[in-house]
């Protein structure tokens, strides 16, 4: 039998997880359903042990190929291309003026 206490605990949906400013900008930049994109990012971050609250530009840059791969499983190529362009812009904006 399972532990009855575990049934009383609420599960936090990945779609409601909040992150730092960079994480929130990245989610918003994709331009798709907020909950789906938030789930996608949290999922990618958790597979490599990163956290939405401490996401750095370097970490985001390293994760872009996997975000791109998973995004293309959700939407058609033209939509994914545009979403990734917006995401790259968020990352480049973090670098500041050259």
Crossing angle between the packed helical segments 34-47 and 21-30, to the nearest 10 degrees: 130
At 15 the pLDDT is: 53
Q: How far is CA 77 from CA 18, 43, 68, 72, 82, in A?
A: 28, 21, 10, 6, 9
Q: What is the pLDDT of residue 9?
A: 47
pLDDT at 6: 45
Residue 78 has pLDDT above 90, yes or no: yes
Residue 14: what pLDDT? 52
Q: What's the CA gap between 23 and 7, in Å, rounded?
A: 31
pLDDT per residue as tens digits for the range 7-66? 454 455 555 678 999 999 999 999 999 999 999 999 999 998 999 999 999 999 999 999
Q: Based on the number of CB atoms within 10 Å of its own CB, is 52 exposed (0-12), middle (13-18) or buried (19 or more)? A: buried
> What's the rounded Cα separation, in Å, for the pair 50 and 36?
18
Q: Is 4 a residue whose pLDDT tops 90? A: no
The per-residue pLDDT for 1 is: 46
């Amino acid at each position: 039998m399972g532990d009855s206490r575990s049934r009383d605990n609420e599960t936090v949906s990945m779609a409601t997880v909040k992150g730092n400013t960079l994480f929130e900008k990245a989610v918003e930049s994709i331009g798709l359903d907020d909950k789906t994109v938030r789930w996608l990012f949290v999922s990618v971050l958790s597979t490599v042990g990163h956290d939405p609250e401490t996401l750095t530009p370097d970490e985001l840059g390293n994760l872009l190929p996997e975000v791109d791969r998973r995004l293309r499983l959700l939407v058609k190529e033209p939509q994914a291309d545009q979403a990734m362009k917006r995401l790259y812009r968020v990352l480049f904006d973090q670098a500041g003026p050259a």
